[in-house]
Structures are given as C-alpha cells and as structure tokens.
Amino acid sequence: MAESINKKALAEALAEKFEITKKAAGEYVDALFDEIKSELVKGNRVEISGFGRFLVKERAARTGYNPQTKEPIAVPASKAPSFRPAKALKDAVKQEA
C-alpha cells in the first residue's frame, strides 16, 4: 500500500529543498491551500499547468431513498469540490506504476 503525506511532511520537504525554515515552509503551504480554497468558495476554477485543475461541481436536487424504510426523501442541490488531473500528471503516475 502506498504511503500518504500530510501538510507537515509536505512543509518539511519544501523546507529541505529550498533551504528555508520549517515554519516558513508551513506558512507557504497554508497560504497556497487557503488561496485555492478561497477561489473555490468564490466559484472560480484553479488551474495549475502540468498538475490539474480544482473546480466546484454542482449537484442537482434529487429524490433519494431511506435504506431502512425505503421511503423517498428529498436531497437538496449542493456544491462539491472536485479535482481533475492534467495529462502530464496522469502520465507521470502511470510511468511509476
């Protein structure tokens, strides 16, 4: 199974790569994620060349069913964040597999 990386580990990797403090690297990572989140909240897309794009998908209202009682329930419309990887990212992942 593949390992996972969190914000702290990402900041540590950036600090080592760019020879900056871990605190500064953590602030850069937080600022990047905050900016992406801010743009998505506004309804904008965030496109990062060679990596992918973050966007907000709109889900239409629909009728769902309670699995226990089988009664229909109204599910309201909603919005959800989404990510679409760029071809370069897909190709890079395929090569590593």
Q: What's the pLDDT score for residue 93?
A: 93
Mean pLDDT of 15-40: 96
Q: Which domain holds residue 1?
A: 1-42
Query: Where residue 97 falls among pLDDT bands split at 50, 70, 90?
Result: low
Chosen domain end from 26, 42, 58: 42
Output 2 or 17, whichever has higher pLDDT: 17
What's the pTM? 0.81
* Integer Cα distance of 29 and 47 in angstroms: 17
- pLDDT at residue 39 greater than cutoff 60: yes
78 with 92, same domain?
yes
38 with 54, same domain?
no
22 with 54, same domain?
no
* Integer Cα distance of 36 and 32 in angstroms: 6
